[in-house]
Amino acid sequence: MLRIAERGQERVYVLTSGKVLEALASDRKENIPVEARDHIRTFHEYFFTLAPDERVINANLSRALYLADGSAKRLYDNLKENGFYAGVVSGNINQDIGIDSITLNTDAYPFYFRCQATQRIIRPTTLVTRELVTEG
């Protein structure tokens, strides 16, 4: 009887659009690599996706900085102080990023990551593509 109760606790049922879906519960430790990769991907997409609109820039950077430590805030402050974001707006520049790979080592805390991406800088007259590699 104890085994039946334990197995029952491993199942979660989700009701969506009138359908019941079964999900299996797992130890949080098993999900860390997936969650960390998504966290890294989301940060990079928000931090490096810019449009020539101050509101969009501020919204994206707000979300990105929520996901990062003090080093990202220092980088943001330096870029802002040097007029980088004002240049994006005045130059009508769009910038986006495509994540190519994320390497993650969860053997020691804090976890090490390396993110390789392709960054596109789109100006009214030119398109610049460059490789972006970040580590943390």
Cis peptide before 110 (omega within 30 of 0): yes
DSSP conformation class of 8 = H
DSSP 111: P
Check residues 65 and 29 and name the one with the higher pLDDT. Answer: 65
Share of the chain above pLDDT 90, in %: 74
Range 4-19 average pLDDT = 67
Decide if pLDDT at 66 tops 90: yes
User: What residues does each domain of the chain span?
Assistant: 32-135
Distance between CA atoms of residues 67 and 87, nearest Å: 25
In this predicted structure, the answer to whether residue 91 has a pLDDT above a threshold of 60 is: yes
| Mean pLDDT within 3-14 | 63
Q: Determine the pLDDT at residue 15.
A: 74
Q: What is the pLDDT of residues 15-55, one digit of tens each?
A: 777 787 776 666 667 789 999 999 999 999 999 999 999 99
Provide the pLDDT for residue 82.
97
CATH class of 32-135: alpha beta
